Structure 1
Amino acid sequence: MYRLNVGGSEINPSQDSDLWRTWEVDSSYMITANAGFEIKNSSNITYSSVNDSSVAPLLVYESARTMSNTEVLEKKFNMSWKFGVDPDFDYLIRLHFCELVYDMENQRIFRIYINNRTAADNFNVFVRAGGKNKGYHQDFFDVVSPKVDTLWIQLGPDTAAGAAGTDALLSGLEIFKLSRNGNLAYVEKYGRGVSSPRRRSSKTQLLWVGVGAGIASVAILATLLFCFCNRWRQKSRETKNNPAGWRPLFLNGSIVNSTANAKGAAGSQNPYGSVASIRVGKRFMLAEIRAATNNFDESLVIGLGGFGKVYKGEIDDGTLVAIKRANPQSQQGLAEFETEIEMLSKLRHRHLVSLIGFCEEQNEMILVYEYMANGTLRSHLFGSDLPPLTWKLRVEACIGAARGLHYLHTGAERGIIHRDVKTTNILLDENFVAKMSDFGLSKTGPALDHTHVSTAVKGSFGYLDPEYFRRQQLTEKSDVYSFGVVLFEVVCARAVINPTLPKDQINLAEWAMKWQRQRALETILDPRLEGSYCPESLKKFGEIAEKCLADEGKSRPTLGEVLWHLEYVLQLHEAWMRTNAGDNSFTSSQAFGALVEGEAEEGEGPPSLDEETGCSRKSTTRGSNESTEDGAEMHGH
Structure 2
Amino acid sequence: MTDKLFADSVSKVGGNDANLNLSGKGIETMYRLNVGGPEINPNEDSNYWRAWDVDSGFMITANAGSEMHNSSNVTYASANDSSVAPLLVYETARSMSNNQVLEKRFNMSWRFEVDPGFDYLIRLHFCELVFDKPNLRIFRIYINNRTAANNYDLFVKAGGMNKAYHQDYFDAVSSQINTLWIQLGPDTAAGASGTDALLNGLEIFKLSRNGNLAHVQRYDSTGSSNHPSKLWVLWVGIAAGVSSVAILAVAVIRIIRFCKKQGKESGDTKNNAPGWRPLFLHGSFLNSSANAKRSSRLLNPNGLMDSTGVGKQFTLAEIRAATNNFDDSLVIGVGGFGKVFKGEVEDGTLAAIKRANPQSEQGLAEFHTEIEMLSKLRHRHLVSMIGFCDEQDEMILVYEYMANGTLRSHLFGSDVPPLTWKQRLEACIGAARGLHYLHTGADQGIIHRDVKTTNILLDENFVAKMSDFGLSKTGPSLEHTHVSTAVKGSFGYLDPEYFRRQQLTEKSDVYSFGVVLFEVVCARAVINPSLPKDQINLAEWAMRWQRQRSLDTIIDPHLKGKYSPESVEKFGEIAEKCLADEGKNRPTMGEVLWHLEYVLQLHQAWLGANTMK
Matched with 2:393 is 363
> Aligned partner of 2:453: which letter?
T
Matched with 1:248 is 295
Matched with 1:487 is 517
Matched, 1:396 2:443: no
> Aligned partner of 1:299: which letter?
S
Pair 1:477–1:241, CA change in 2 (3 A): closer
> Aligned partner of 2:309: which letter?
R
1:474-553 equivalent positions in 2, closer than 5 A: 474-553=504-583
Aligned-residue offset at 1:424: 0.5
Q: Give the TM-score taking structure 2 as reference length.
A: 0.52
Pair 1:254–1:343, CA change in 2 (3 A): farther
> Aligned partner of 1:544: which letter?
I
Matched with 2:30 is none
List per-residue Cα deviations over 1:136-160 (Å, max 9, x = no partner). Answer: xxxxxxxxxxxxxxxxxxxxxxxxx
1:206-605 equivalent positions in 2, closer than 5 A: 242-244=286-288, 245=291, 247-250=294-297, 254=301, 260=305, 266=306, 278-581=308-611, 583=613
Structure-1 separation of matches of 2:396 and 2:523: 33
* Paired residue secondary structure (1:447): coil
Pair 1:254–1:350, CA change in 2 (3 A): farther
Q: What's the Cα RMSD here?
A: 1.9
List per-residue Cα deviations over 1:544-595 (Å, max 9, x = no partner). Answer: 0000001110000000000000000001111111111175xxxxxxxxxxxx
Structure-2 separation of matches of 1:491 and 1:503: 21
Pair 1:464–1:295, CA change in 2 (3 A): same
Structure-2 separation of matches of 1:256 and 1:525: 55
Structure-2 separation of matches of 1:356 and 1:249: 21
> Aligned partner of 1:243: which letter?
N
Structure-1 separation of matches of 2:469 and 2:609: 42
* Paired residue secondary structure (2:372): helix
Contact 1:292–1:313, Cα closer than 8 Å, also in 2: yes
Structure-2 separation of matches of 1:358 and 1:497: 34
Pair 1:241–1:457, CA change in 2 (3 A): closer
Aligned-residue offset at 1:337: 1.6
Aligned-residue offset at 1:278: 2.7
Gaps of 5+ in 1: 1-237, 261-265, 267-276, 584-637
* Paired residue secondary structure (2:325): coil
Pair 1:255–1:497, CA change in 2 (3 A): farther
> Aligned partner of 1:339: which letter?
T
* Paired residue secondary structure (2:361): coil
Matched with 2:133 is none
Aligned-residue offset at 1:254: 4.9
Structure-1 separation of matches of 2:420 and 2:296: 43
* Paired residue secondary structure (2:339): strand
Over the matched positions of the two proteins, sequence identity in percent amounts to 81
Aligned-residue offset at 1:331: 2.9
Aligned-residue offset at 1:442: 0.6
Structure-2 separation of matches of 1:395 and 1:523: 19
| Aligned positions, number | 329
1:13-24 equivalent positions in 2, closer than 5 A: none
* Paired residue secondary structure (1:313): strand
Contact 1:322–1:368, Cα closer than 8 Å, also in 2: yes
Structure-1 separation of matches of 2:559 and 2:602: 16
Aligned-residue offset at 1:330: 3.8
List per-residue Cα deviations over 1:473-519 (Å, max 9, x = no partner). Answer: 11000000000000000000000011111111111001101010100
> Aligned partner of 1:507: which letter?
N
* Paired residue secondary structure (2:567): helix
Structure-2 separation of matches of 1:569 and 1:303: 32
Structure-1 separation of matches of 2:455 and 2:564: 27
Aligned-residue offset at 1:279: 2.7
Contact 1:248–1:255, Cα closer than 8 Å, also in 2: no
Aligned-residue offset at 1:253: 5.0
Pair 1:446–1:517, CA change in 2 (3 A): same
> Aligned partner of 1:301: which letter?
V
> Aligned partner of 2:295: which letter?
P
Aligned-residue offset at 1:242: 3.0
Aligned-residue offset at 1:316: 2.8
Aligned-residue offset at 1:526: 0.2
The worse-fitting range, judged by mean Cα deviation, of 574-583 and 288-297 is 574-583
List per-residue Cα deviations over 1:430-486 (Å, max 9, x = no partner). Answer: 000000001111111011011011111111111011111111111000000000000
List per-residue Cα deviations over 1:185-213 (Å, max 9, x = no partner). Answer: xxxxxxxxxxxxxxxxxxxxxxxxxxxxx
Aligned-residue offset at 1:252: 9.4
Pair 1:241–1:556, CA change in 2 (3 A): closer
Aligned-residue offset at 1:338: 1.1
* Paired residue secondary structure (1:528): helix
> Aligned partner of 2:533: which letter?
K
Contact 2:357–2:363, Cα closer than 8 Å, also in 1: no
Structure-1 separation of matches of 2:303 and 2:459: 29
List per-residue Cα deviations over 1:341-400 (Å, max 9, x = no partner). Answer: 110111111100000011122221111000001110000000011110000000000000
> Aligned partner of 2:456: which letter?
I
Structure-2 separation of matches of 1:240 and 1:355: 21
Gaps of 5+ in 2: 1-280
List per-residue Cα deviations over 1:522-543 (Å, max 9, x = no partner). Answer: 0000010011111110000000
> Aligned partner of 1:458: which letter?
K
